[in-house]
Structure formats: structure tokens, C-alpha cells
Amino acid sequence: MHQFVPYILLLPLIGFLVNGLFGKKIGSETAAGLIGAGVIGLAFVLAAVIVGEMAGSPAEDRKHIVTLFQWVAAGSFSVSVAYQVDQLSMLMTLVVTGVGFLIHVYSIGYMHGDPGFRRFFAYMNLFIFMMLNLVLAGNFLLMFLGWEGVGLCSFLLIGFWHDRPFDTGGYAPGTAMTTDAAKKAFIVNRIGDFGFLIAMFMIVGAFGTLNFDEVFARAPYVFEAGNATVFWITLLLFLGATGKSAQIPLFVWLPDAMAGPTPVSALIHAATMVTAGVYMIARCSILYALAPATMEIVAGVGLATALVAATIGLVQNDIKKVLAYSTVSQLGYMFLALGVGSFTGGVFHVMTHAFFKALLFLGAGSVIHAMHDEQDIQKMGGLAPVMPVTYRTFLIAALAIAGIPPLAGFFSKDEILWKAFSQGGLGYWVVGWMVAGLTAFYMFRLVSLTFGGEARWGHDKHPHESPKLMTVPLMVLAILSVVGGFIGVPESLGGSNVIERWLEPVFAPAMAKLAFVQTGHDPAEYLLMALSVLIAAGGIAGARYIYLRRASIADGIAGRFRPFYALLWNKYFIDELYDAVIVRPIAAGSDRLLWRFFDIGVIDGMVNGTAHLVRLASGSLRKLQSGNAQNYAYGFLVGIILVLGVIIFR
Amino acid sequence: MDLLTPHLLSIGPLLTLVAVALLVLLLESIITKSEPVSFWTSVAGLLVSIGIAVPGIAVHGSAFGGMLRTGGSANYFSIIFFICALLTIVFSRDYLKKRDSVFGEFYLLILFATVGMVLMAAAADLIIVFLGIELMSICLYVLAGFIRGSVLSNESSLKYFLLGAFATGFLLYGIALLYGSTGSTSITFLTEHFETYASSRLFLAGIGLLIVGLAFKIGAVPFHMWVPDVYQGAPTPVSGFMATGAKAAAFSIIIGLFAQRFVHGVQIGTLLAILAAASMILGNVVAIAQTNVKRMLAYSSIAHAGYMLTGLAAGNAYGRDGILFYLLAYAFMNLGAFGLISFMEQEGEKHLTFDDYAGLGTTKPFLAVLMSVFMFSLAGIPPFAGFFGKYYIFVGAVQADMTWLAIVGVLMSVVSVFYYLRLVMVMYFQDTLIGQTASYSASSAAFVVLAALILLGLGVFPSSLLAIITTLY
């Protein structure tokens, strides 16, 4: 079956072409939506069949490379369009197409009546196509195609409502449009892409190939652990990951990316694209295993990002912004897992996070829809009775992300925290544990302010439950958020940790290199588990107490810690810092030095000068072309003399 | 089995084409309104010939006592010629209708010219070379003057004939000198014993004069003077045919002589490099000053002769394979461009200046997009096939320590962007001045689209064609 993998990619491409080229000719909106969602559904089914077949075959028979054609050839170097089917890529494919399909269905309801309905589905299909290229690629270059492609789709979809203003929450007040947010996302990502590119060049230099197979197989023989080249390769790849996966220092684009339609935030900026960096590092696990210094940087950056984003999330009032910072924070967890050598833990969290974070965003979309585009949670409240399905599913997702057992988030987060402790150190665990408490707190602050307490909206608003097209995907995702973690129940809890066994062959070389001491059952694991449940419960209880019973406490705290509150409210002034230190100097430099002096003065001067010169030459040369055949014959004769002169007398 | 049959079988494409040409000749003389019949017979015949030639590429052999080479490169070139002839015939029909000159003889002449080209590509002996060149040239002289009522067309024909006869004289003189110094006219013999005779001035003079004759046919500087005048005056599709088919035919001989074994010494390498550089510089620089699109393409074809000579001067497999790739790509892009110009051209050589193309992007978006594809490909901008052709040629030059020539080539490519993209700029960024009309049939449109798609396909998957090219010699 694995040879049918290209069709998984072909389906969304067809959807993109149909809606993109003939969208206007498709009369009914439903038909366009069904095509858009249908191709993703079919792709999911195909992927599931392939995974089913893989599961039925022995573990060493689960990896295949499907080569379509040679893409680039230059001398001895060549790259093919080749897809790698293995446990990791197919797991990601299932998540991308499965969650993607639900979000597409939801979008049929959410985007109903939008003039850009068909364009929306075309972009979404293109995104899925590119994302599948990213996760299924068999070499770095094809992965880079997907990497850039999802960036492009992200750009197109953030600025989807290109004529709408956009609140940046601080810098450039009142003037920004959603296209500015799109540009910001694109440009910040380009910085990361630069790292990815340089890393690719270095890989070609070291290995002479970009094929995953060859690079990973040869890496342990080419490099000693801790070699400088592999350090730089992995660090630069990680720079790429910080761009795509919104980590310090490049995370600033993700909160602004919320300017796009909410299903986009759910699919691209929560469930799939932003996990590309995690996937990429997991894919390159052997390279990272050879670069312990980079591993520490990855873990440190992940941890710092988790903490910084979670604290910012505490005070935000825009429902989507809270979720955006929560995403950044959860991605930080995933990088922490990768950094301490728990590649499985990182990928496991990618999957569970896709379920509950997509659910949270779609639920938020349902609320925004009901509240007529209101996103400020201070102006909501009391929505639970009005929107029962949205409320219950949102609550499940919030419990899942907070890490309450036995929901999905508990198992993946616990795996990460345990590995942070046992393979990283106590410090990693303490910070990760605190972030878990913060997460529970800000999520239930969000739940309480949105759904609980008194209604704080005006009489002009008539919120109502969303249509079935939107609530059914919510319910499916809610079920997944509940049961999704069961594939990763650790042995200490009597489970068989299916996902770890499934992914084991992919990470085996890296794990062999890292050679962690297997401690077996450690009573500490139970203690840590209990502590993390405790802090999650504490966070939830605290948030409910403050925001449902004693709202005055929140204001009191904000008042007493004024400077700290201001710091969080303004997101540590990072946007302002980047603006002052990087954006403005570059803008000024490119305006005065590069544009006015260099481009207009030097380059244009040279170009225009050359063009003038060539024209003069051209004008005089054409006079030789007299039109007189005898003259031509004389010219011919001169030519013959020249030829014979060169050939005989040289 | 008698002795002749295997020889005849091995030259299947040539025989098929001759049979089709003779059939058309017969039809012309017995049917009164024969033009449509001749047209479709020619088209079908060329398609069949392509079909016969394709499988033969994998075979290598010779026939008729070493007079002809069969299979391999001979078939590859034959396919190029057939494609050129096919596109020319399809585009010409609409064009000739506009000029009131629809006669079946036109197709006949194209077919016989193609027979000449196939002979040139298959020639393993200089006598066959001469035979092929003359068969092709005489047909082309007539084709250039096919619009009998047009002064420009007549002038074109006469100039081409006079200078062509002049060049043929030198070519023949060269062959005579070679025979005189070596006692053989066999190309195989000449290439095998090149080093033995390389010190003989008589031999070198013979080679020199042979190069002169062929340089005239490909329009290389300084034997290029006829090109702008002839291309401008000839019926537009015929200009395209001369620039692609005839040029490829002349190159097939030069490649057979010098690039089969890469035997040419320093002298010939230098000479080819000088011709290449001069052609690239003059062609591109003078093209800038042109206001007539056909003349611009004429100078561009001189420049392209220069690029391809660069690959020959390199004298290695990269350069040779680059030329072979480029000749096919060039057939599609140049004929496509000439075809579009013929759609636009109006009675009395009108609507041929850059200004006439202003605003075509809005009035005729279909034609404008296609024209842009051909211009981008001619300028050598990826992802179109033109880029890879140039790329391989320049790599060949660098590998042969002729970096200076590659630099000249790249710089001149930059210059060429100026005039190719000027047409694109005019089409999209200027307002239309005249009522633009274009007349073309569905089949012509289909072939232009096909040509554009093939350019894109070859540009994206160049290695698929290159894999075939490397097996040709």
C-alpha cells in the first residue's frame, strides 16, 4: 500500500486546483466546501489504510522510500522528489489530515457567506499539500519546499481578510491591517528559514547528499559527538525551528498571526504548521544526539519560551491571544522534551496538543461567531447555558491542556516532565512544573471569564449555539482529547506505551548514541505525577475562585504589582525592543544607504550608464547593416581571411 | 534477404519522409484543390516520421558503405527537424491565408528541405553533407520568396540565394582541399586521423573553409550579414524554420566533425571561441536597437548561434550535450515566438513593431502569456528549458578552461534580458495604441500551447532529456 503515498499528497493538490482555478464556476458554496473537505477526508482514509498495513507488518518492514522522479541533478549531486513512509511521518500525516479534515468541515459552517469562501478552501488545501510535503519528504530539499510552502500559505491566510484593521496590542496602534500581521509572520519566518538553508548547505558540504537515509546513516561515522560542524548544523536547523515553531527569539509573529480566520489559527497556528520545527528536530534526532551542546540549548530555549509565554498568557484579554500564547508555551514544552532526549515525548505532545488546541481554537471560533466578532473576554461571561456544546467541549479541552488525568494532555505532559527530571535535571522539572500550574490557571481564567459568571455583553448581542457543521467537529475533537492519551500510557501506570513502541525504530540510533541509563520503575515518577496533578488542580481552583467569586482579587493583585503587571500586559516589550533595535535601524539603513545612495546612485547609475553605452554601440554597429548584398559579400571575404589567419598562422 | 534491405530499414525516418514528400508532390499534380489534402498529408507524414525515428535513437549504426550514420544522433536531430517542420507547416497555413498565398507547394518545399536536413544529420561523408545542404538551401531560397507579391520577400530570397551560393562555393572548396590533402571525404576517416594531418596547412585551410560555409548557415558573426534582412523579409514561419531547423542541421555537421571525438586542436578551438564570442556580442548588442520584432529575433538567433558555438569551443561532453539540449529547446521557443508573431502580423508586413504589441496583456491575454513564456525561455530564465541549455553549455566552457568565454556568454545573456523582457514589458505595462487583431486556427493555438508546456516540462525535468542525450554519440 505504501506506494500509494503520493496520492495522499495529490488529493489536496487537486482540491487546491479545483477551488483555486474553477472556484468561481462552482455555483454552490456547499459544493466548494465539500470538495475542499472531501479531498482531505479521503487523504486521511488513505493514510489510515497505509498505517493499518504498516501495523500489520513486522517493524523492520515499516519503512519505505517512494521515489517519484529525479528533481535536480548537478554533477554527482542529485535530489529526487521522494517520500519517506515510516512510523514518524505517517503519524504526522494522520494528525495533519485527520485534524485538518475536522477543521475543514468546521470551516464550511464558519466561513459561510464569506465572499472569499472558495479562495479560503483553496488556500487551506494548498496548506495541507505543503504540510504533507514537509512531513513525508525523504530529503531536506523537499522538506524545505514544504517548509516554505506552509509559510506561504500561513502568510496568505493570516492576511485572508486583507481589508480588515488589526489590533497589534501596542506598537503601531490604529494603523495596522491584517496584512501587516501576515508580513510580520513571513519576515520573521524568513530569518529562521535562513538558518535552515545554511544548515542544508553545510549538510551537502559534509555528506554530499540531502537524502535523510544517507545523511542519518552516515552521520555517526562522519562526526564525533560534539563535533563543531554538527553543532552548527543542528543549531542552524534549530534556528529554523524557532521561526516556524514560534520559540524565543522568533516567537513574536504567532500572537499576531491570530489576525487570520479562526479555523486557520486552529489548523496552522496551533495544530500543525507550528509543530513543524518539533517534527524536523525529531526527524534529525541522530544529528542532535551527536550535538549535546545544541540539545541543551534546545531544552533551555524551550523551557524559557514555555515560561515567558505562559506568564504573558495570564493577563491577555483577547480570547485568541490567550490561546496563541498558550500554544507558544506548549511548543516550549515540546522543545524541552526534544532537548532532554525524549523525542517520543515531544512527538506525543505534538499529537495530543493538536487535538485539544484545535478544539480550543474552534471553540473560541464558535464563541466569536456567536458574539458577532467580539474577542474580548472581559465583554463575555455567562455563555455556558447559551452554548452548551461549545462550553462542554471547551471545558474538556481546558482540562486536557491543564493535565488532569486521564485526559490526553496528562499523559503527554507527564511524559515530558518525567523525562525532564530523569534525563535533564531537577531544575528543568521545577520550571516545567510551575508552567503546568500557570497553564491551568490561565486556561481556567479564560473558561471562567468566557462561560462562567454573569453575562457582561450588551442587549444588542444574541449569542446562540453554532450549527451542527461546527459543533460535530468540536465533539469529535473532544473525544480525541479524552482518549488520545491512551496510546501513551506509561508502563508505570500499567499501560503499554503504544506510541513509544511504534516510534522506537525511528529514534533507536539517536537513543543508542545518547545511552540513557534505564532506571526501571522509579517511585519518584509517582511522586512527580501526583505533584503535577496537584499544581494543575490548584491552578484551576485558584482561577475559578478569583474569577468567579472574587473578581476584586485580580484587580488587587494587578494594582499591587503594577510594574510586573505592566510588563506582562506589554508582553515584556519584546515587540517594542525588536522594533527599536532591529526594524527601525534596518528600515532607516535601507532607505538612506541602500536605496537612495546605493541603489539609485550606484546601481541605477551603472545600469543606466551601461544601457546608454550599449545603445550607442548598437546604433553604430547597425549602420554596418547596409542592406547592400555586395557589401555583405565583402564582409564575408574579410571573415574568411580572419578565419584562415587564425587557423593557419596561430 | 537481399543486401539492400537492412540499409533501407535503418534509414526508416528518412525514407518515410521522402515517401510523404513524393506523395504530396503527386497529390499536387493530380488533385485540383489540393491544398487541404497536402496539408493534412504533410502533418500526418511528419507525425509518423517522428514515431519511426524515436525508437531508433537507441540504435547506433551506419549504412550504405559508411556514407550514412543511422540511429543515435542522426535520429535525435531528425526528430528536431520533424518538429520544426511540423510547427512551421501548422503555423504557415493561417499565415499564408492572410497573405493570399495558400499553395500546397509550400508544404512540399518544407518537406524536401527537411529531407535535406536529415541527410545532413546522417551524413558520414562530406559528399552527403554537400548533397543535404544544397537540397535544404534550394528549398529555403524558394520558401523565403514565397510571397511573390511582396518586395521584401523577393529581396530576402534573392539575397539569401546570392550569399548562399557564395558560401556554398567556399564549402565545396574546403571539401576539395580536404580531399586533396587526405585522399578521403569520409568524416569518420577525417576525425580518426585528425591529429595526423593537423600539421598540414592545406588540411587546416580545408577545415577553415568548411567552417566558413557552415558558419554562414548558422548565422555566426562575421558571416551573419544576411540573417536580419532574410529573416525580416521571409514569410514569418519560414524565418522561424530557418532559425531553428536549418541552424540545427548545420550544427549537426559541425558536431559530427569536431565533437564526436573532441579531436579539434588548439587552432580550431580558438577559432570557434572567437566566432562564438563575436556572435554573442554582436547579436545581443544590436538586437537592443531593433524596433521590428522579427529583426530583433533575427539578431537574437545570431546570438544563440554564439551560445551554441561556445559549447563546441569547449570541446567536451558537457558542451556537446548542452548544444543538443539547447537545439531542441530552441526549436520550441523560437518557433513558438515566430508562430505568435505570424498570428499577429497583418497584410503588408504590418503589426511587427514593439509598439504594436503594447497592451497585448489586456487585449489578448492568451497570446501575451505564451509570448512571455517564449521570451523568458529565450532569455534563459528558469524554470524554462532555455535556462538549462545555457547552463550546460557554460559549464562545459568553464570545464574546458574557457572561463572567459562563459563570462562573455553570461554577460551577454544579461544584455539579452533587456530586449526580450522589453517585449513583455510593452505587452503588460503599456496601453494599446492600435486595434490588435490576431488570426489563428485552433490547431495552431494547440501547438503553441504544447510548445510552451514542453519548454516548462524540459525546464523542470531536464535530466529526463539529458539522460537520452548522453547516449547519442
**A627–B contact, CB cutoff 8 A:** yes
Longest dimension (CA), chain A: 106
Comparing A456 with B433, the larger pLDDT belongs to A456
Report the alpha-carbon distance of residue A92 to residue A275 in Å, rounded: 10
Report the alpha-carbon distance of residue A276 to residue A92 in Å, rounded: 10
B271 is written with which cell numbers? 577559432
Report the alpha-carbon distance of residue A142 to residue A135 in Å, rounded: 10
Model confidence at A522, in pLDDT bands (50, 70, 90)? confident
Report the alpha-carbon distance of residue A407 to residue A16 in Å, rounded: 35
- The per-residue pLDDT for range B186-209, each reduced to its tens digit, is 998 888 888 888 888 899 899 999
- Tell the residue number behind the cell numbers 504589582, with chain if given: A561
Selected for mutation to probe chain A from B203, B300, B316, B463 (highest A CB count within 10 Å) is B463
| Helix (H) / strand (E) containing A64 | strand A64-74
CB A435 within 8 A of CB A333: yes
- Rounded to the nearest 10 degrees, the angle between the axes of helix A629-649 and helix B201-218 is 140
Report for A510-524, A604-618, B8-22: range of highest mean pLDDT:
B8-22
- The per-residue pLDDT for range B325-355, each reduced to its tens digit, is 999 999 999 999 999 999 998 877 788 888 8
- Statement to judge: residues A10 and A94 lie in one domain: yes
Q: Is A621–B286 a contact, with Cβ atoms under 8 angstroms apart?
A: yes
Report the alpha-carbon distance of residue B300 to residue B415 in Å, rounded: 11
Report the alpha-carbon distance of residue B345 to residue B227 in Å, rounded: 20
Longest dimension (CA), chain B: 69
Q: Is A650–B266 a contact, with Cβ atoms under 8 angstroms apart?
A: yes
Report the alpha-carbon distance of residue B383 to residue B216 in Å, rounded: 32
Tell me which residue in A614, A636, A646 faces B274 most closely, judged by beta carbons: A646
Three-state DSSP string of A482-518: HHHHHHHCCHHHCCCCHHHHHHHHHHHHHHHHHCCCC
Q: Three-state SS for A596?
A: helix
CB A477 within 8 A of CB A358: yes
Sign of the Cα torsion B362, B366, B368, B369 reads: positive
- Statement to judge: residues A244 and A387 lie in one domain: yes
Closest CA to B258 of B182, B184, B311, B202: B311
Mean of pLDDT over chain B = 90
pLDDT at A172: 59
Report the alpha-carbon distance of residue A47 to residue A348 in Å, rounded: 18
B455 is written with which cell numbers? 519548454
What is the least distance, in Å, from the CA of A202 to any CA of chain B? 23
Q: Three-state SS for A403?
A: coil
Nearest CA in chain A to B233: A627
Q: Is A647–B268 a contact, with Cβ atoms under 8 angstroms apart?
A: yes
Q: Is B267–A646 a contact, with Cβ atoms under 8 angstroms apart?
A: yes
Residues of A in contact with B162 (CB under 8 A): 629, 633
pTM of the model: 0.73
Model confidence at B262, in pLDDT bands (50, 70, 90)? low
pLDDT at B121: 94
**A617–B contact, CB cutoff 8 A:** yes
- Statement to judge: residues A436 and A339 lie in one domain: yes
Kindly report whether the peptide bond that precedes residue B222 is cis, defined as omega within 30 degrees of 0.
yes
- Statement to judge: residues A117 and A262 lie in one domain: no
- Rounded to the nearest 10 degrees, the angle between the axes of helix A343-370 and helix A388-402 is 150
Give me the mean pLDDT over the B308-330 stretch: 91
Last residue of a domain, one of A569, A587, A609: A569
Q: Three-state SS for B69?
A: strand
Q: A135-149, A289-303, B297-311, B340-354: which range is least confident on average?
A: B340-354
Model confidence at B264, in pLDDT bands (50, 70, 90)? low
Q: Does the pLDDT of residue B1 top 60, yes or no?
A: no
**B461–A contact, CB cutoff 8 A:** yes
Report the alpha-carbon distance of residue A349 to residue A95 in Å, rounded: 12
User: Using CA atoms in the order A108, A111, A116, A120, what is the torsion angle rounded to 10 degrees?
Assistant: -60
Q: Does the pLDDT of residue A313 top 80, yes or no?
A: yes
Report the alpha-carbon distance of residue A197 to residue A458 in Å, rounded: 52
- Tell the residue number behind the cell numbers 478569583, with chain if given: A546
- Statement to judge: residues A450 and A325 lie in one domain: yes
Last residue of a domain, one of A569, A589, A621: A569
pLDDT at B110: 96
What is the least distance, in Å, from the CA of B425 to any CA of chain A? 16
Q: Does the pLDDT of residue A171 top 70, yes or no?
A: no
pLDDT at A12: 94
- Statement to judge: residues A422 and A453 lie in one domain: yes
| Helix (H) / strand (E) containing A67 | strand A64-74
Q: Which one-letter amino acid corresponds to residue B436?
A: Q
Q: What share of chain A is helix, strand, coil (3-state, %, to 5)?
A: 75, 5, 20
What is the least distance, in Å, from the CA of A69 to any CA of chain B? 9
**Going by DSSP bridges, is the β-strand pair B60-63/A64-74 parallel, antiparallel, or unpaired?**
unpaired
Mean of pLDDT over chain A = 88
What one-character-per-residue DSSP string does B52-67 give? HHHHHTT-EEEETTTT
B196 is written with which cell numbers? 595526423
- Rounded to the nearest 10 degrees, the angle between the axes of helix B72-98 and helix B442-460 is 140
Q: Is B225–A632 a contact, with Cβ atoms under 8 angstroms apart?
A: yes
Report the alpha-carbon distance of residue A305 to residue A574 in Å, rounded: 13
List all residues of chain B from 288 to 347 with a beta carbon under 8 Å from chain A. 288-289
Nearest CA in chain B to A650: B267
Interface A-B, measured as beta-carbon pairs within 8 A, has a size of 93
pLDDT at A166: 78
Selected for mutation to probe chain B from A72, A636, A641, A649 (highest B CB count within 10 Å) is A636
Tell me which residue in B159, B271, B462 faces A629 most closely, judged by beta carbons: B159
- Tell the residue number behind the cell numbers 489534402, with chain if given: B37
Give me the mean pLDDT over the A409-431 stretch: 91
Helical residues (DSSP H) of B262-379, grouped into ranges: 266-288, 293-314, 317-344, 360-363, 365-379
Give me the mean pLDDT over the B238-256 stretch: 94
Q: A348-362, A510-524, B305-319, B395-409: which range is least confident on average?
A: A510-524
- The per-residue pLDDT for range B104-151, each reduced to its tens digit, is 899 999 999 999 999 999 999 999 999 999 999 999 999 999 998 888
CA distances from A10 to A5, A16, A133 (A): 9, 10, 10
**B469–A contact, CB cutoff 8 A:** no
Q: Which one-letter amino acid corresponds to residue B230?
A: V
CB A63 within 8 A of CB A84: yes
**A614–B contact, CB cutoff 8 A:** yes
A148 is written with which cell numbers? 516554505
**Going by DSSP bridges, is the β-strand pair B68-71/A77-85 parallel, antiparallel, or unpaired?**
unpaired
B179 is written with which cell numbers? 580531399
Tell me which residue in B201, B285, B462 faces A648 most closely, judged by beta carbons: B201
User: Using CA atoms in the order A580, A581, A583, A588, what is the torsion angle rounded to 10 degrees?
Assistant: 90
- Statement to judge: residues A407 and A308 lie in one domain: yes
Closest CA to A326 of A412, A238, A404, A402: A402
- Statement to judge: residues A640 and A625 lie in one domain: yes
Q: Is B285–A617 a contact, with Cβ atoms under 8 angstroms apart?
A: yes
- Statement to judge: residues A354 and A483 lie in one domain: yes
Distance of CA B472 to the CA centre of its chain: 19
Q: Is A625–B229 a contact, with Cβ atoms under 8 angstroms apart?
A: yes
Q: Which one-letter amino acid corresponds to residue A597?
A: F
**A517–B contact, CB cutoff 8 A:** no
Residue A77 forms beta bridges with which residues? A74
- The per-residue pLDDT for range A120-164, each reduced to its tens digit, is 999 999 999 999 999 999 999 999 999 999 999 999 999 898 888
Closest CA to B20 of B76, B72, B86, B64: B86
Q: Three-state SS for B73?
A: helix
Model confidence at B261, in pLDDT bands (50, 70, 90)? low
The total of structural domains in chain A comes to: 3
Model confidence at A106, in pLDDT bands (50, 70, 90)? very high
Comparing B80 with B289, the larger pLDDT belongs to B80
Selected for mutation to probe chain A from B154, B177, B221, B225 (highest A CB count within 10 Å) is B225
- Statement to judge: residues A328 and A440 lie in one domain: yes
Selected for mutation to probe chain B from A640, A641, A649 (highest B CB count within 10 Å) is A640
Q: Is B75 exposed, middle or buried (0-12, 13-18, 19+ CB in 10 A)?
A: buried
Report the alpha-carbon distance of residue A130 to residue A150 in Å, rounded: 6
Q: Is A78 exposed, middle or buried (0-12, 13-18, 19+ CB in 10 A)?
A: middle
Report the alpha-carbon distance of residue B473 to residue B469 in Å, rounded: 8
CB A320 within 8 A of CB A364: yes
pLDDT at A174: 62
Q: Does the pLDDT of residue A173 top 70, yes or no?
A: no
Tell me which residue in A636, A642, A647 faces B267 most closely, judged by beta carbons: A647
- Statement to judge: residues A216 and A125 lie in one domain: no
Residues of A in contact with B170 (CB under 8 A): 640
Residues contacting A147, CB < 8 A, separation 6+: A134, A193, A196, A240, A244, A276, A280
**A70–B contact, CB cutoff 8 A:** yes
Model confidence at A489, in pLDDT bands (50, 70, 90)? confident
**A639–B contact, CB cutoff 8 A:** yes
| Helix (H) / strand (E) containing A81 | strand A77-85
pLDDT at A9: 93
Q: Buried b / exposed e across B183-205, counting CB within 10 Å, b at 16+? A: eebbbbbbbeebeebbeeeebbb
Identify the DSSP state of B155. Answer: H
A143 is written with which cell numbers? 522538506
Residues of A in contact with B461 (CB under 8 A): 69-70
Report the alpha-carbon distance of residue A325 to residue A258 in Å, rounded: 11
- Statement to judge: residues A475 and A398 lie in one domain: yes
B210 is written with which cell numbers? 568548411
For chain A, the first-to-last Cα distance in angstroms comes to 67
**B5–A contact, CB cutoff 8 A:** no
Closest CA to A287 of A340, A346, A345, A237: A237
Q: Is A647–B225 a contact, with Cβ atoms under 8 angstroms apart?
A: no
Residue span of the structural domain in which A450 resides = 165-569
Tell me which residue in B166, B267, B274 faces A636 most closely, judged by beta carbons: B166
Task: Quote the Cα angle for B108-B339-B431, to 5°.
Answer: 155
Give me the mean pLDDT over the B154-172 stretch: 93
Selected for mutation to probe chain B from A67, A72, A145, A643 (highest B CB count within 10 Å) is A643
Last residue of a domain, one of A510, A537, A569: A569
List all residues of chain B from 194 to 223 with a beta carbon under 8 Å from chain A. 201, 204-205, 207-209, 211-212, 215-216, 222-223
Give me the mean pLDDT over the B279-297 stretch: 91
- Tell the residue number behind the cell numbers 517522428, with chain if given: B50
B422 is written with which cell numbers? 522589453
Q: Is B353 exposed, middle or buried (0-12, 13-18, 19+ CB in 10 A)?
A: middle
Tell me which residue in A618, A619, A648 faces B205 most closely, judged by beta carbons: A648
B105 is written with which cell numbers? 507547394
**B152–A contact, CB cutoff 8 A:** no
pLDDT at A618: 74
**A606–B contact, CB cutoff 8 A:** no
Q: Three-state SS for B123?
A: strand
